[in-house]
Structure 1
Amino acid sequence: MGTADAVPGVSGGTIALITGIYDRLIAAITAASPALARRALDGLLGDRDQLREVWTDVDGAFLLALGAGIATAILTVTRALHVALETAPVLTYGFFFGLIGASAVVLRDEFRADSPARIAAAVAGIVLAFVASGRASAALGETALATFLAGAVAVSAMILPGISGSLLLVILGQYERMTEALSLFVDALLASVTGGPTATVVETGVPVVAFLAGGVVGLLTVAHAVRAALAARREATLAFLIGLIVGALRAPVTRVGEEVAAWTATVAGEFAVAAAFGALLVVGVDRLAGGVDLE
């Protein structure tokens, strides 16, 4: 799931479906509540039985093991992707384009344009993602608040099959920045172990902490809101989410345009080859999953 969440277009939720842990994951995440937090606080203040009950209610052992695996994968994959973005941006963004485009294709059965509301929701998603893909980077900036909001949006998406949190970071113009921030933080942390300055750890850790804090809030709020929307207006919500994917296809093209002087035949060819590879990867994952079913 961590590897999938690190690349735009592939959803960690899809991997959860493939491995058969999706229902257990959703149950564990949605078990969190203010009442549960109060019980956990009581447990930390001395009521060990209460603390054990809370640990059981949130399936703590499962979340701990899963979280460790996700964190390990994200730390390694994002470093590789950061290097790829620095050294081969055309190929990397072309790969992302294929991942995103194929994700929309494999979810086509979830979209039924049989009512004005669903069509309007899909168009709204396309327009929102298309506009945001060209302007969000400048609009959000690099403040702690922008990082917090990016974390809230991206992490809340990781539990939805077919919707990638990294894709939303690309739309928001925060993907490259966050992969770099995470790499710098890990480098500073490792350097401090061997005698490096701790001040660097604190400095590079600010955006990472802000992102994680936003992620926690996102899981406890945005994810619940999305699930409520799916329960109330399932088809329209899915149409909107799929529209976001389609509109996001602008993002990798825009990023390549920022990296190269002009779109030449060579650039377009490299982009297309990488996109084809990314598309094949998503189709392969979908076949392995037996087709994404968002029921």
Structure 2
Amino acid sequence: MYIINFIRGFCMALADSVPGVSGGTIAFILGFYDKFINSLNSLISGTKEERINAIKFLFKLGIGWVCGFVLSALFITSIFESHIYEISSLFIGFIIVAIPMIFKEEKESIVGHYKNIIFLIIGIILVFSITYFNPMTGGSGISVSVESLNVGLIIYIFVSAMVAISAMVLPGISGSTILLIFGLYAPIMGAVKGVIKFDLRFLPVVIIFGLGVLAGIALTIRGVKFSLANYRSQTIYCVLGLMIGSLYAVVMGPLTLSTPKPAMDLSTFSPLYFIIGGALIIGLERLKIALEKKKN
């Protein structure tokens, strides 16, 4: 199970580190989302035995996640701004193919519960509104160097981290998409890359972001667990709405770069990268089937 959990964590990290689908979506596709959420909840409020089991599971998952995130941070930050349209096309492929997979996994929660479609609409409007009214869209840009840190920016990074990790935990919009909306994706990934390369000027930024992540997990997990246990249909509809809305966020993503570029359109859309993104998600589903066969 160690190798299996390593692969799971690695795949989650690749999803978490790029705008598109969340690590929670990957956990859903690979069939261990409920165990993931329950383990995080047990770590916070479980019994001693539950915490020990949770630590064992999350440690194995975490090693894979760290390896995947480091590789992603080193690679993606080098090409993100210069190849934004190709990468955005890849993200759209992730999302478009992942949506029917979520539908397939949660068919019982969706079919026959059409009155809950209002939650899908709410999810779409939420992401659309955050993207449309985002003050960072259009080129104000953010610098996360040590020299530019101030109280306002510290609070902004901390709160953004809380919101982003909440999105990463949910099987819906990617936390990286949230960072993209807030204009922090490239700066944060650049800061992480800098720390990995022992450029300690960016360490305060990474620490602030990390503290926001921990606070977000502590505040989010119980709510997610409760919602899935008691309002699963409404939650899944909302998740699908968030995913659909994130398509708009990805299309508008180039506007949030430090040097803004036009929003993606048909002329800058890359069918090849779209197909690659979709193929990767399909490959993950096949991996899930293979892991289940191996487990049985």
TM-score w.r.t. length of structure 1: 0.74
User: Could you give the per-residue CA deviations for residues 59-94 of structure 1, whole angstroms, max 9, x where no partner exists?
Assistant: 434433432331222122122111121321111111
1:97 is displaced (CA, Å) by 1.7
Indicate conservation of the 8 Å contact 1:28/1:57, yes or no.
no
Indicate conservation of the 8 Å contact 2:195/2:202, yes or no.
yes
* The one of 173, 177, 196 aligned to 1:186: 196
Runs of 5+ consecutive residues of structure 2 not aligned to the other structure? 1-8, 143-152, 291-296
User: Could you give the per-residue CA deviations for residues 177-198 of structure 1, whole angstroms, max 9, x where no partner exists?
Assistant: 32122112323x2x5xxxxxxx
**Is 1:133 aligned to residue 131 of structure 2?**
yes
1:105 is displaced (CA, Å) by 2.8
1:24 is displaced (CA, Å) by 4.7
**Distance change in 2, residues 1:158/1:290 (3 Å):** farther
Give the match for residue 96 of structure 2: 101
Which stretch shifts more, 136-145 or 119-128? 136-145
In 1, distance between residues paired with 2:91 and 2:178?
12
Aligned CA RMSD, in angstroms, stands at: 3.3
Indicate conservation of the 8 Å contact 1:10/1:99, yes or no.
yes
| 3-state SS of paired residue (1:221) | helix
**Distance change in 2, residues 1:103/1:237 (3 Å):** same
Aligned length: 261
In 2, distance between residues paired with 1:84 and 1:280?
21
Q: How does 1:160-199 map to 2 (within 5 A)?
A: 160-161=170-171, 164-187=174-197, 189=198
Which stretch shifts more, 168-177 or 90-99? 168-177
1:278 is displaced (CA, Å) by 0.9
In 2, distance between residues paired with 1:257 and 1:185?
26
Q: How does 1:67-86 map to 2 (within 5 A)?
A: 67-86=62-81
Q: Which amino acid aligns with 2:43?
A: A
1:223 is displaced (CA, Å) by 2.0
**Is 1:5 aligned to residue 4 of structure 2?**
no
| 3-state SS of paired residue (1:248) | helix
Give the match for residue 253 of structure 2: 255
**Distance change in 2, residues 1:25/1:267 (3 Å):** closer
Q: Which amino acid aligns with 2:40?
A: I
Q: Percent identity?
A: 28
Give the match for residue 162 of structure 2: 152
In 1, distance between residues paired with 2:241 and 2:131?
13
